[in-house]
Amino acid sequence: MTDAYVRTIASMGTVVTIHVVGHGANRVDETGRKRGVDAALAWFDEVERSCSRFDPRSEVSQLSTRIGARVPVSDLLFEAVRFALAVAEESGGAFDPTVGLLLETRGFNREYRSGAVVRTALEPDDDATYRDVHLDADERTIMLARPLVLDLGAVAKGLAIDMAARELRGRSFADFAIDAGGDLYLAGRNADGKPWSVGVRHPRDHQTLFETLRVSNVAVCTSGDYERRTPGDDGGAEHHIMDPRTRVSASTAASVTVLASSAMVADALGTAAFVLGPERGLELLERDGVDGVIITPALERFATRGMRAEYLVEGRSSGFDS
C-alpha cells in the first residue's frame, strides 16, 4: 500500500514543499513521518539564518561589518562559501559570490518576508572579486579583504535541499521529493512506484513545458532569467543572474537545468553555466560530470551528452542530439 504526506513552508524567499511517499516496507509511521519532515524543513530556516544577505543579523551579513577581520563561522556558512569559491575559480569568475553589493544597488534589495530594504553601509568596491574572500580551513574563519557583500543565492538553496535530503535518508525515508521553488531533489519513486517526473519549463511560455525528465535519486535545479527581475519595468529590466565581468545581467541563456547527485552542485553549476552561456556553459557541465540542458533566448537547446542516455526525456522531438 502506498500513502503520501505533504508539507509546505515559506523559506529562503520561496515556497518549499516536501512530499514523502511510503511504499510497503518503506513506510514510516505517521508521527515519525511528521517529525522527519519537520526536521528536514528546519534546515531551510537554518541555512537562511547563516547565509541570507537580506537579514542583517545573519552570519553572512555580519562578515560585511568586519572587513579585514578573520571571523569564525558555522560549518554551514563555511562549506557554502568554500564551495562557491571553488565554482568561481572553475568558471574563471563568471560565477562569483561577491556580487552582493552589485545586486543590492540594482534593486535586488528587499527581504521577502518583511519587504524591508537592505542597505549595506559599505562603499562598493568595483574591483572586489571572489579572490578577496579568504578562508582558513583549520580555524574555520572567513575574512573579506575588501568591502564586499557575499551573495550565496546560487548555493544556499541547494545546500538546504541536500541537508534536508540527508535528514530524511538518515531517518530511513527512501521515496520523497523536495521542491524549493523549482530546485528539486527526487529520491526513490513516486506514489505510482515510478521514477519522478520533472518538467523543464519553457522559458518564454510558462503554460508550456519544454520537456519532461524521468529521474530518481538526483537533484534537478533550474536557473532562469524569468525568475526574479527588477521591479517596475519590463523591456530592458535586469534579472537576478549577473555577469560579474560586465556588471549587467547575463543574457546568452534563458534557462539552465542541471542534474546532479547534490543539489548544491546542481544549483551553483546551473548559475555558472547560465553566465557562461551555451557553449562554455556546456563545457563546464561536462567537465564536472553533471548533466544539463541550456535553453537560449532564441530557444535553441544545448544538452550534455548524458541527457539522452540516462534520463527518459520526453518532449521536443527535435534537438535531442544537440
Out of 64, 129, 190, 271, name the contact with Mg ion by CB under 5 A.
Answer: 271
Between the alpha carbon of residue 123 and those of residues 67, 127, 229, 320, the distances in Å are 12, 12, 24, 48
- Binding to Mg ion by residue 267, rule CB under 5 A? yes
Q: How far is the CB of 151 from ligand ADP (least distance, A)?
A: 4
Gap between the Cα atoms of 4 and 274, Å rounded: 35
- Binding to Mg ion by residue 91, rule CB under 5 A? no
Closest CA to 264 of 198, 197, 219, 215: 219
Indicate the residue among 22 and 244 with the shorter CB distance to ligand ADP. 244
166: Cα separation from own chain's centroid: 17
Burial class (CB in 10 A: 0-12, 13-18, 19+), 149: buried
Indicate the residue among 73 and 268 with the shorter CB distance to Mg ion. 268
Out of 18, 80, 154, 184, name the contact with Mg ion by CB under 5 A.
Answer: 154
Q: How far is the CB of 262 from ligand ADP (least distance, A)?
A: 14
Indicate the residue among 271 and 304 with the shorter CB distance to ligand ADP. 271
List the single partner that 238 binds among ligand ADP, Mg ion, none, CB under 5 to 8 Å by kind: none
Burial class (CB in 10 A: 0-12, 13-18, 19+), 192: exposed
Q: How far is the CB of 183 from Mg ion (least distance, A)?
A: 7
Contact 101, 126 (CB under 8 A): no
Between the alpha carbon of residue 57 and those of residues 49, 54, 64, 76, 92, the distances in Å are 8, 9, 11, 16, 31
Q: Which helix (H) or strand (E) holds 185?
A: strand 183-187
Strand pairing class (196-202; 205-215): antiparallel
Out of 13, 36, 203, 270, name the contact with Mg ion by CB under 5 A.
Answer: 270
List the single partner that 151 binds among Mg ion, ligand ADP, none, CB under 5 to 8 Å by kind: ligand ADP
- Binding to Mg ion by residue 253, rule CB under 5 A? no
Q: How far is the CB of 273 from Mg ion (least distance, A)?
A: 9
Q: How far is the CB of 226 from Mg ion (least distance, A)?
A: 14
Q: Which residue ranges make up the site for ligand ADP (CB under 6 A)?
A: 95-97, 99, 103, 151, 153-154, 157, 183, 223, 227, 240-242, 244, 267, 270-271, 275
Q: b/e per residue, 47-71, with b = 16+ CB within 10 A? A: bbbbbbbbbbebbbbebbeebeeeb
Which of 25-33, 129-137, 190-198, 218-226 is the region at the interface with Mg ion (rule: CB under 5 A)? 218-226
Q: How far is the CB of 249 from Mg ion (least distance, A)?
A: 14
Indicate the residue among 50 and 271 with the shorter CB distance to Mg ion. 271
Out of 11, 91, 190, 223, name the contact with Mg ion by CB under 5 A.
Answer: 223
How would you classify residue 270: left for phi > 0, otherwise alpha for psi between -120 and 50, otherwise beta? alpha
Binding site for Mg ion (CB under 5 A): 154, 223, 267, 270-271
